[in-house]
Chains A and B, each alone.
Chain A
Protein backbone atom coordinates (compact mmCIF):
# COMPACT_ATOMS: atom_id res chain seq x y z
CA UNK A 1 0.00 0.00 0.00
CA UNK A 2 1.39 3.35 -1.03
CA UNK A 3 0.10 6.84 -0.56
CA UNK A 4 0.51 9.90 -2.79
CA UNK A 5 3.80 10.53 -4.56
CA UNK A 6 5.88 13.70 -4.31
CA UNK A 7 4.12 15.18 -1.33
CA UNK A 8 6.23 14.48 1.73
CA UNK A 9 8.43 17.11 3.36
CA UNK A 10 11.22 14.76 4.47
CA UNK A 11 14.71 16.13 3.83
CA UNK A 12 18.04 14.47 4.52
CA UNK A 13 21.17 16.56 4.74
CA UNK A 14 23.74 13.94 3.79
CA UNK A 15 26.64 16.13 4.90
CA UNK A 16 25.41 16.09 8.50
CA UNK A 17 24.75 12.34 8.68
CA UNK A 18 27.08 10.53 11.06
CA UNK A 19 25.99 7.06 10.00
CA UNK A 20 24.47 6.05 13.35
CA UNK A 21 21.64 4.13 11.60
CA UNK A 22 19.05 5.39 14.06
CA UNK A 23 16.73 6.49 11.23
CA UNK A 24 16.78 2.95 9.83
CA UNK A 25 15.81 1.68 13.27
CA UNK A 26 12.87 3.99 13.95
CA UNK A 27 11.36 4.33 10.47
CA UNK A 28 8.19 2.21 10.22
CA UNK A 29 8.19 2.31 6.42
CA UNK A 30 11.75 1.39 5.52
CA UNK A 31 12.43 4.78 3.92
CA UNK A 32 16.19 4.73 4.59
CA UNK A 33 19.10 2.54 3.69
CA UNK A 34 22.86 2.81 4.29
CA UNK A 35 25.22 3.69 1.49
CA UNK A 36 28.92 4.28 2.13
CA UNK A 37 28.27 4.45 5.89
CA UNK A 38 25.69 7.18 5.48
CA UNK A 39 21.92 7.10 5.39
CA UNK A 40 20.19 7.71 2.08
CA UNK A 41 16.51 7.95 1.16
CA UNK A 42 15.49 4.85 -0.76
CA UNK A 43 11.69 5.20 -0.78
CA UNK A 44 10.95 8.79 0.10
CA UNK A 45 7.33 8.54 -1.03
CA UNK A 46 6.70 5.85 1.58
CA UNK A 47 7.35 8.40 4.34
CA UNK A 48 4.30 9.13 6.49
CA UNK A 49 5.87 12.15 8.20
CA UNK A 50 5.66 10.69 11.69
CA UNK A 51 8.82 12.56 12.64
CA UNK A 52 10.49 9.68 14.52
CA UNK A 53 13.67 9.94 12.44
CA UNK A 54 14.01 13.67 12.92
CA UNK A 55 13.46 13.43 16.67
CA UNK A 56 16.05 10.68 16.99
CA UNK A 57 18.68 12.07 14.65
CA UNK A 58 21.37 13.29 17.03
CA UNK A 59 23.25 14.83 14.11
CA UNK A 60 20.27 16.95 13.07
CA UNK A 61 20.51 15.70 9.50
CA UNK A 62 16.79 15.09 9.07
CA UNK A 63 13.91 17.50 8.80
CA UNK A 64 10.26 16.80 8.18
CA UNK A 65 7.05 18.67 8.86
CA UNK A 66 5.66 15.98 11.10
CA UNK A 67 2.04 15.47 11.91
CA UNK A 68 -0.75 12.98 11.73
CA UNK A 69 -2.18 12.22 8.29
CA UNK A 70 -5.74 12.29 9.55
CA UNK A 71 -8.51 14.06 7.65
CA UNK A 72 -10.99 14.15 10.52
CA UNK A 73 -8.27 15.58 12.73
CA UNK A 74 -7.61 18.34 10.23
CA UNK A 75 -11.34 19.05 9.88
CA UNK A 76 -11.76 19.16 13.67
CA UNK A 77 -8.82 21.54 13.86
CA UNK A 78 -10.33 23.85 11.25
CA UNK A 79 -13.78 23.77 12.86
CA UNK A 80 -12.40 24.54 16.28
CA UNK A 81 -9.69 26.90 15.14
CA UNK A 82 -6.98 24.78 16.76
CA UNK A 83 -4.25 22.41 15.72
CA UNK A 84 -5.31 19.20 14.06
CA UNK A 85 -7.03 16.99 16.59
CA UNK A 86 -8.24 13.51 16.02
CA UNK A 87 -11.80 12.43 16.36
CA UNK A 88 -13.29 12.43 19.83
CA UNK A 89 -15.98 9.85 19.90
CA UNK A 90 -16.74 9.94 23.57
CA UNK A 91 -15.09 12.15 26.12
CA UNK A 92 -11.53 12.25 25.00
CA UNK A 93 -9.67 12.93 21.82
CA UNK A 94 -7.03 11.47 19.62
Chain B
Protein backbone atom coordinates (compact mmCIF):
# COMPACT_ATOMS: atom_id res chain seq x y z
CA UNK B 1 0.00 0.00 0.00
CA UNK B 2 1.26 3.40 -0.78
CA UNK B 3 1.55 5.28 2.43
CA UNK B 4 2.47 8.68 1.16
CA UNK B 5 -0.27 11.04 2.25
CA UNK B 6 0.01 13.07 -0.93
CA UNK B 7 -0.29 10.22 -3.35
CA UNK B 8 -3.08 10.10 -5.78
CA UNK B 9 -3.89 6.70 -4.44
CA UNK B 10 -6.53 5.85 -6.92
CA UNK B 11 -4.07 6.21 -9.72
CA UNK B 12 -1.44 4.26 -7.85
CA UNK B 13 -3.90 1.49 -7.12
CA UNK B 14 -4.93 0.89 -10.68
CA UNK B 15 -1.37 0.49 -11.91
CA UNK B 16 -0.94 -3.20 -12.58
CA UNK B 17 2.85 -3.39 -12.25
CA UNK B 18 4.28 -4.60 -8.96
CA UNK B 19 4.42 -1.90 -6.35
CA UNK B 20 7.96 -1.19 -5.31
CA UNK B 21 8.17 -1.79 -1.61
CA UNK B 22 10.42 1.05 -0.63
CA UNK B 23 9.99 1.45 3.06
CA UNK B 24 13.59 2.37 3.66
CA UNK B 25 14.33 -0.34 6.20
CA UNK B 26 17.84 -1.62 6.42
CA UNK B 27 16.65 -5.15 7.05
CA UNK B 28 17.35 -7.75 4.40
CA UNK B 29 14.02 -9.51 4.86
CA UNK B 30 12.09 -6.49 3.70
CA UNK B 31 12.14 -4.01 0.90
CA UNK B 32 12.79 -6.35 -1.99
CA UNK B 33 10.53 -5.43 -4.81
CA UNK B 34 7.97 -7.98 -5.87
CA UNK B 35 9.51 -8.24 -9.30
CA UNK B 36 13.02 -8.78 -8.01
CA UNK B 37 12.14 -11.59 -5.68
CA UNK B 38 10.20 -13.57 -8.28
CA UNK B 39 9.35 -17.19 -7.66
CA UNK B 40 11.45 -18.70 -4.91
CA UNK B 41 14.08 -21.12 -6.03
CA UNK B 42 12.94 -24.46 -4.76
CA UNK B 43 14.20 -27.99 -4.64
CA UNK B 44 10.81 -29.13 -5.83
CA UNK B 45 9.48 -28.40 -9.24
CA UNK B 46 7.41 -25.29 -9.01
CA UNK B 47 4.08 -26.92 -9.77
CA UNK B 48 4.33 -29.95 -7.53
CA UNK B 49 1.88 -29.56 -4.63
CA UNK B 50 3.32 -30.01 -1.17
CA UNK B 51 1.28 -32.30 1.11
CA UNK B 52 0.62 -30.80 4.51
CA UNK B 53 -1.27 -31.98 7.60
CA UNK B 54 -3.89 -30.17 9.62
CA UNK B 55 -2.71 -30.99 13.12
CA UNK B 56 -0.33 -28.55 14.74
CA UNK B 57 2.62 -30.08 16.51
CA UNK B 58 4.53 -28.91 19.57
CA UNK B 59 7.15 -27.39 17.27
CA UNK B 60 4.50 -25.27 15.55
CA UNK B 61 3.18 -24.00 18.87
CA UNK B 62 6.67 -23.23 20.18
CA UNK B 63 7.54 -21.44 16.96
CA UNK B 64 4.39 -19.35 17.25
CA UNK B 65 5.17 -18.51 20.87
CA UNK B 66 8.71 -17.47 19.93
CA UNK B 67 7.43 -15.33 17.04
CA UNK B 68 5.08 -13.53 19.42
CA UNK B 69 8.18 -12.54 21.39
CA UNK B 70 10.04 -11.48 18.27
CA UNK B 71 12.33 -14.52 18.30
CA UNK B 72 12.97 -15.77 14.79
CA UNK B 73 9.89 -13.87 13.70
CA UNK B 74 11.17 -12.91 10.29
CA UNK B 75 12.24 -16.47 9.52
CA UNK B 76 8.99 -18.03 10.75
CA UNK B 77 7.92 -18.68 7.19
CA UNK B 78 6.82 -21.44 4.87
CA UNK B 79 7.73 -21.83 1.25
CA UNK B 80 5.25 -20.11 -1.05
CA UNK B 81 3.46 -22.42 -3.46
CA UNK B 82 0.61 -24.91 -3.66
CA UNK B 83 -0.12 -27.15 -0.69
CA UNK B 84 -2.41 -30.16 -0.66
CA UNK B 85 -4.58 -30.68 2.39
CA UNK B 86 -6.02 -34.20 2.52
CA UNK B 87 -6.36 -35.54 -0.98
CA UNK B 88 -7.67 -32.67 -3.06
CA UNK B 89 -8.96 -33.24 -6.57
CA UNK B 90 -10.14 -31.04 -9.41
CA UNK B 91 -13.32 -30.09 -7.53
CA UNK B 92 -11.70 -29.23 -4.20
CA UNK B 93 -11.82 -25.67 -2.91
CA UNK B 94 -8.79 -23.43 -3.27
CA UNK B 95 -7.82 -21.25 -0.33
CA UNK B 96 -5.28 -18.46 -0.60
CA UNK B 97 -3.04 -17.47 2.29
CA UNK B 98 0.25 -15.86 3.30
CA UNK B 99 3.60 -17.49 3.98
CA UNK B 100 3.88 -16.27 7.58
CA UNK B 101 3.90 -19.60 9.37
CA UNK B 102 1.61 -18.35 12.13
CA UNK B 103 -1.00 -17.55 9.47
CA UNK B 104 -0.39 -20.73 7.49
CA UNK B 105 -0.71 -22.90 10.61
CA UNK B 106 -3.88 -21.19 11.69
CA UNK B 107 -5.51 -21.79 8.31
CA UNK B 108 -4.48 -25.42 7.87
CA UNK B 109 -5.44 -26.33 11.42
CA UNK B 110 -9.04 -25.37 10.62
CA UNK B 111 -9.25 -27.75 7.69
CA UNK B 112 -9.02 -31.12 9.43
CA UNK B 113 -10.83 -33.91 7.61
CA UNK B 114 -11.17 -31.88 4.44
CA UNK B 115 -9.62 -32.00 1.01
CA UNK B 116 -8.48 -28.60 -0.17
CA UNK B 117 -5.79 -26.74 -2.04
CA UNK B 118 -3.90 -24.09 -0.14
CA UNK B 119 -2.20 -21.54 -2.35
CA UNK B 120 0.44 -19.72 -0.32
CA UNK B 121 1.61 -16.38 -1.63
CA UNK B 122 5.08 -14.99 -1.04
CA UNK B 123 4.37 -12.24 1.50
CA UNK B 124 7.92 -12.23 2.92
CA UNK B 125 6.69 -13.88 6.09
CA UNK B 126 4.11 -11.17 6.81
CA UNK B 127 0.49 -11.85 7.77
CA UNK B 128 -2.31 -11.36 5.25
CA UNK B 129 -3.62 -7.99 6.41
CA UNK B 130 -0.29 -6.23 6.77
CA UNK B 131 1.04 -7.79 3.57
CA UNK B 132 -2.10 -6.71 1.71
CA UNK B 133 -1.49 -3.17 2.97
CA UNK B 134 2.01 -3.35 1.55
CA UNK B 135 0.81 -4.92 -1.69
CA UNK B 136 2.81 -8.13 -1.30
CA UNK B 137 -0.40 -10.06 -0.65
CA UNK B 138 -1.76 -8.60 -3.83
CA UNK B 139 -3.20 -9.04 -7.28
CA UNK B 140 0.16 -9.39 -9.01
CA UNK B 141 1.55 -11.97 -6.61
CA UNK B 142 -1.70 -13.95 -6.71
CA UNK B 143 -1.85 -14.03 -10.51
CA UNK B 144 1.85 -14.88 -10.65
CA UNK B 145 1.47 -17.70 -8.10
CA UNK B 146 -1.52 -19.08 -10.03
CA UNK B 147 0.64 -19.27 -13.13
CA UNK B 148 3.70 -20.93 -11.63
CA UNK B 149 1.64 -23.50 -9.74
CA UNK B 150 -0.49 -24.18 -12.86
CA UNK B 151 -3.54 -24.24 -10.66
CA UNK B 152 -5.85 -23.88 -13.65
CA UNK B 153 -4.71 -27.34 -14.79
CA UNK B 154 -5.42 -28.90 -11.42
CA UNK B 155 -8.94 -27.70 -10.78
CA UNK B 156 -11.98 -27.59 -13.01
CA UNK B 157 -13.68 -24.76 -11.18
CA UNK B 158 -12.44 -21.18 -11.18
CA UNK B 159 -13.08 -20.15 -7.59
CA UNK B 160 -10.52 -18.77 -5.16
CA UNK B 161 -11.21 -18.26 -1.46
CA UNK B 162 -9.22 -15.21 -0.48
CA UNK B 163 -9.28 -13.94 3.11
CA UNK B 164 -11.38 -10.80 3.36
CA UNK B 165 -8.51 -8.83 4.88
CA UNK B 166 -6.54 -9.58 1.72
CA UNK B 167 -8.92 -7.29 -0.17
CA UNK B 168 -6.69 -4.34 0.65
CA UNK B 169 -4.17 -5.82 -1.79
CA UNK B 170 -6.22 -8.13 -4.01
CA UNK B 171 -8.46 -6.59 -6.62
CA UNK B 172 -11.07 -9.24 -7.36
CA UNK B 173 -12.17 -7.99 -10.77
CA UNK B 174 -8.59 -7.63 -11.94
CA UNK B 175 -7.73 -11.16 -10.82
CA UNK B 176 -10.66 -12.41 -12.86
CA UNK B 177 -9.57 -10.49 -15.94
CA UNK B 178 -6.00 -11.67 -15.72
CA UNK B 179 -6.43 -15.27 -14.59
CA UNK B 180 -10.03 -16.30 -15.15
CA UNK B 181 -10.41 -17.10 -11.46
CA UNK B 182 -13.23 -15.55 -9.47
CA UNK B 183 -12.29 -14.30 -6.03
CA UNK B 184 -14.62 -15.13 -3.15
CA UNK B 185 -13.64 -13.11 -0.14
CA UNK B 186 -13.80 -15.43 2.83
CA UNK B 187 -14.21 -14.66 6.51
CA UNK B 188 -11.88 -12.44 8.53
CA UNK B 189 -10.96 -15.27 10.89
CA UNK B 190 -9.66 -18.66 9.81
CA UNK B 191 -11.85 -20.34 12.42
CA UNK B 192 -14.93 -19.42 10.33
CA UNK B 193 -13.53 -21.13 7.23
CA UNK B 194 -15.29 -24.49 7.71
CA UNK B 195 -18.67 -22.78 8.04
CA UNK B 196 -17.92 -20.53 5.08
CA UNK B 197 -17.00 -23.50 2.87
CA UNK B 198 -20.02 -25.51 4.01
CA UNK B 199 -22.45 -22.65 3.46
CA UNK B 200 -21.71 -22.23 -0.22
CA UNK B 201 -18.97 -19.59 0.26
CA UNK B 202 -21.21 -17.20 2.15
CA UNK B 203 -20.34 -15.20 5.25
CA UNK B 204 -22.60 -14.01 7.99
CA UNK B 205 -22.22 -10.25 8.63
CA UNK B 206 -20.50 -11.12 11.89
CA UNK B 207 -17.82 -13.09 10.04
CA UNK B 208 -16.95 -9.96 8.06
CA UNK B 209 -16.36 -7.69 11.03
CA UNK B 210 -12.96 -7.03 12.52
CA UNK B 211 -13.00 -6.83 16.29
CA UNK B 212 -10.24 -6.28 18.78
CA UNK B 213 -11.12 -8.40 21.82
CA UNK B 214 -8.92 -8.52 24.88
CA UNK B 215 -7.28 -11.78 23.83
CA UNK B 216 -6.13 -10.28 20.53
CA UNK B 217 -4.89 -7.14 22.26
CA UNK B 218 -2.96 -8.98 24.94
CA UNK B 219 -1.21 -11.34 22.54
CA UNK B 220 0.42 -8.29 20.92
CA UNK B 221 1.90 -6.96 24.15
CA UNK B 222 5.14 -9.03 24.03
CA UNK B 223 6.11 -7.82 20.57
CA UNK B 224 5.45 -4.21 21.61
CA UNK B 225 7.73 -4.70 24.59
CA UNK B 226 10.45 -6.46 22.61
CA UNK B 227 10.27 -3.75 19.97
CA UNK B 228 10.94 -0.94 22.41
CA UNK B 229 13.12 -2.72 24.92
CA UNK B 230 16.48 -2.12 23.27
CA UNK B 231 16.15 1.64 23.22
CA UNK B 232 14.72 1.57 26.74
CA UNK B 233 17.73 -0.33 28.07
CA UNK B 234 20.05 2.14 26.35
CA UNK B 235 18.15 5.06 27.87
CA UNK B 236 18.23 3.39 31.29
CA UNK B 237 22.00 2.91 31.03
CA UNK B 238 22.33 6.58 30.08
CA UNK B 239 20.43 7.54 33.24
CA UNK B 240 22.72 5.36 35.36
CA UNK B 241 25.83 6.98 33.89
CA UNK B 242 24.46 10.53 34.04
CA UNK B 243 23.29 10.14 37.62
CA UNK B 244 26.90 10.32 38.79
CA UNK B 245 27.09 13.98 37.79
CA UNK B 246 26.69 16.67 40.45
CA UNK B 247 28.11 19.79 42.06
CA UNK B 248 30.60 17.73 43.99
CA UNK B 249 31.93 16.03 40.87
CA UNK B 250 31.16 12.49 39.71
CA UNK B 251 29.70 10.34 42.49
CA UNK B 252 29.47 6.57 42.32
CA UNK B 253 27.14 6.63 45.29
CA UNK B 254 24.64 8.55 43.16
CA UNK B 255 25.17 6.12 40.29
CA UNK B 256 24.08 3.24 42.49
CA UNK B 257 21.37 5.22 44.24
CA UNK B 258 19.64 7.73 42.00
CA UNK B 259 20.97 6.17 38.81
CA UNK B 260 19.76 2.64 39.43
CA UNK B 261 16.42 3.80 40.82
CA UNK B 262 15.88 6.04 37.79
CA UNK B 263 16.79 3.25 35.38
CA UNK B 264 14.35 0.86 37.05
CA UNK B 265 11.60 3.46 37.08
CA UNK B 266 12.14 4.15 33.38
CA UNK B 267 11.89 0.46 32.48
CA UNK B 268 8.87 0.04 34.77
CA UNK B 269 7.17 3.02 33.09
CA UNK B 270 7.72 1.49 29.68
CA UNK B 271 6.56 -2.00 30.67
CA UNK B 272 3.48 -0.65 32.44
CA UNK B 273 2.46 1.55 29.51
CA UNK B 274 3.07 -1.17 26.92
CA UNK B 275 0.93 -3.62 28.90
CA UNK B 276 -1.85 -1.50 30.37
CA UNK B 277 -2.78 0.49 27.25
CA UNK B 278 -3.56 -2.62 25.16
CA UNK B 279 -5.22 -4.34 28.09
CA UNK B 280 -7.46 -1.44 29.10
CA UNK B 281 -7.89 0.07 25.62
CA UNK B 282 -11.70 0.24 25.38
CA UNK B 283 -12.08 1.60 28.91
CA UNK B 284 -9.41 4.30 28.82
CA UNK B 285 -10.81 7.81 28.40
CA UNK B 286 -10.48 9.50 25.01
CA UNK B 287 -10.47 8.24 21.44
CA UNK B 288 -6.92 9.25 20.51
CA UNK B 289 -4.39 6.65 21.60
CA UNK B 290 -2.01 9.35 22.84
CA UNK B 291 -4.78 10.49 25.19
CA UNK B 292 -5.51 6.94 26.34
CA UNK B 293 -1.80 6.51 27.07
CA UNK B 294 -1.60 9.84 28.89
CA UNK B 295 -4.48 8.83 31.17
CA UNK B 296 -2.79 5.52 31.93
CA UNK B 297 0.32 7.52 32.76
CA UNK B 298 -1.63 9.96 34.91
CA UNK B 299 -2.93 7.09 37.05
CA UNK B 300 0.54 5.56 37.21
CA UNK B 301 2.09 8.91 38.12
CA UNK B 302 -0.49 9.37 40.86
CA UNK B 303 0.48 5.98 42.29
CA UNK B 304 4.19 6.77 42.05
CA UNK B 305 3.58 10.21 43.56
CA UNK B 306 1.75 8.69 46.49
CA UNK B 307 4.63 6.26 47.05
CA UNK B 308 7.13 9.11 46.94
CA UNK B 309 4.99 11.12 49.37
CA UNK B 310 4.85 8.28 51.87
CA UNK B 311 8.52 7.49 51.38
CA UNK B 312 10.32 10.82 50.91
CA UNK B 313 13.49 10.59 48.88
CA UNK B 314 12.29 7.61 46.85
CA UNK B 315 12.38 9.67 43.65
CA UNK B 316 15.40 11.72 44.73
CA UNK B 317 15.06 15.42 45.34
CA UNK B 318 11.68 17.19 45.01
CA UNK B 319 12.80 18.58 41.64
CA UNK B 320 13.45 15.04 40.44
CA UNK B 321 10.09 13.90 41.74
CA UNK B 322 8.42 16.58 39.63
CA UNK B 323 10.47 15.40 36.66
CA UNK B 324 9.10 11.87 37.07
CA UNK B 325 5.52 13.04 37.55
CA UNK B 326 5.85 14.90 34.24
CA UNK B 327 7.67 12.11 32.47
CA UNK B 328 5.45 9.13 33.29
CA UNK B 329 2.26 10.39 31.59
CA UNK B 330 4.33 11.68 28.67
CA UNK B 331 6.09 8.38 28.11
CA UNK B 332 2.87 6.40 28.37
CA UNK B 333 1.18 8.79 25.97
CA UNK B 334 3.92 7.97 23.46
CA UNK B 335 3.64 4.23 24.12
CA UNK B 336 -0.12 4.45 23.68
CA UNK B 337 0.25 6.36 20.45
CA UNK B 338 2.59 3.70 19.12
CA UNK B 339 -0.04 1.05 19.75
CA UNK B 340 -2.16 2.53 16.92
CA UNK B 341 -0.25 0.36 14.46
CA UNK B 342 -1.17 -2.81 16.31
CA UNK B 343 -4.83 -1.89 16.64
CA UNK B 344 -7.44 -2.88 14.10
CA UNK B 345 -9.40 0.31 13.73
CA UNK B 346 -7.17 3.38 13.47
CA UNK B 347 -7.00 5.29 10.20
CA UNK B 348 -3.97 7.00 8.70
CA UNK B 349 -5.77 10.37 8.73
CA UNK B 350 -6.71 9.96 12.37
CA UNK B 351 -3.21 8.97 13.43
CA UNK B 352 -1.73 11.94 11.59
CA UNK B 353 -4.25 14.21 13.29
CA UNK B 354 -3.48 13.00 16.78
CA UNK B 355 0.27 13.01 16.15
CA UNK B 356 0.22 16.64 15.06
CA UNK B 357 -1.01 17.59 18.49
CA UNK B 358 0.56 14.88 20.62
CA UNK B 359 4.13 14.71 19.36
CA UNK B 360 5.06 18.37 20.02
CA UNK B 361 3.54 18.09 23.50
CA UNK B 362 5.36 14.83 24.16
CA UNK B 363 8.67 16.33 23.06
CA UNK B 364 8.07 19.42 25.18
CA UNK B 365 7.12 17.53 28.33
CA UNK B 366 9.85 14.91 27.92
CA UNK B 367 12.41 17.68 27.39
CA UNK B 368 11.20 19.53 30.47
CA UNK B 369 11.31 16.33 32.50
CA UNK B 370 14.85 15.58 31.35
CA UNK B 371 16.03 19.08 32.26
CA UNK B 372 14.39 18.88 35.68
CA UNK B 373 15.95 15.49 36.31
CA UNK B 374 19.39 16.85 35.42
CA UNK B 375 18.74 19.93 37.53
CA UNK B 376 17.83 17.59 40.37
CA UNK B 377 21.33 16.11 40.26
CA UNK B 378 22.85 19.50 40.89
CA UNK B 379 20.45 20.65 43.59
CA UNK B 380 20.91 17.79 46.03
Report the separation of the CA atoms of residues A54 and B375 in the bound assembly, to the nearest whole angstrom: 54
Report the separation of the CA atoms of residues A68 and B205 in the bound assembly, to the nearest whole angstrom: 24
Given contacts A28-B210, A63-B10, contact A88 B25 (CB under 8 A): yes
Residue of A5, A9, A89 most packed against chain B (CB within 10 A): A89
Q: How far is the CB of B201 from chain A (nearest CB, A)?
A: 11
Count of chain A residues with a beta carbon within 8 Å of a chain B beta carbon: 56
B209 touches A28 (CB 8 A): yes
A54 touches B341 (CB 8 A): no
A26 touches B345 (CB 8 A): no
Q: Does B360 belong to the interface (CB within 8 Å)?
A: no
Report the separation of the CA atoms of residues A47 and B26 in the bound assembly, to the nearest whole angstrom: 32
B125 touches A92 (CB 8 A): yes
Residue of A5, A27, A28, A47 most packed against chain B (CB within 10 A): A28
Which B residue's beta carbon lies closest to that of A50? B168
B3 touches A9 (CB 8 A): no
Q: Which residues of A contact B188 (CB under 8 A)?
A: 28
Count of chain B residues with a beta carbon within 8 Å of a chain A beta carbon: 71
Q: How far is the CB of A54 from chain B (nearest CB, A)?
A: 6
B354 touches A26 (CB 8 A): no
Given contacts A9-B349, A77-B24, contact A25 B185 (CB under 8 A): yes
Q: Which residues of B contact A66 (CB under 8 A)?
A: 1-2, 9, 13, 168, 348
Given contacts A55-B171, A71-B351, A72-B338, contact A87 B13 (CB under 8 A): no
Residues of chain A having any CB pair with chain B under 8 Å: 1-5, 7-9, 22, 25-30, 46-52, 54-56, 58, 60, 63-74, 76-77, 80-94
